[in-house]
Amino acid sequence: MVTISSYEQRKRKDGTSFFVLILQGEVEIVFSPTTGLPYANVAKCSMPAPFDEPTCKSMVGTKLPGSIQKGECEPYDYTNPRTNKVIQLDYNYEYSPLENSTPEKAVFAEIA
């Protein structure tokens, strides 16, 4: 399950604004590549929404079926807000309406 945790107003290149819903996945335990120690992580992503602000606000806390998956993208620079260190990433997180789905699983599900 995915939870709508908040919303944000953003601007298009032409200056007009729109809202996005901030989606949050379930807590998962991951291991630090530097220390090897476990820590809790929650994947987040945003999804454009055709709603006005009152509707977006009313949706906060709503649970949706699906999960947040890691997806490949063009490399981009990311600044860690805690350390201000800039690193290059080649992935982002995307909402998948199917629980624990990957493109490969979806293709094989259609074949079966």
* Residue pLDDT, tens place only, 56-86: 999 999 999 999 998 999 999 999 888 999 9
Q: What is the pTM of this model?
A: 0.75
Q: For residue 29, give Cα distances in angstroms to 9, 39, 71, 72, 92.
A: 31, 6, 19, 21, 18
Sort 88 into a burial class: Cβ within 10 Å, 0-12 / 13-18 / 19+.
Answer: exposed
Average pLDDT over residues 82-103: 83
Contact 58, 5 (CB under 8 A): no
Confidence of residue 103 (pLDDT cuts 50, 70, 90): low
Which of 26-35, 85-94, 103-112 is least confident? 103-112
Strands (E), the chain: 2-11, 17-31, 38-49, 63-64, 67-79, 86-96
Q: Taking a C-beta distance cutoff of 8 angstroms, is the pair 66, 99 a contact?
A: yes
Rounded Cα gap, residues 108 and 112, in angstroms: 6
Q: What is the pLDDT of residues 13-38, one digit of tens each?
A: 999 999 999 999 999 999 988 899 99
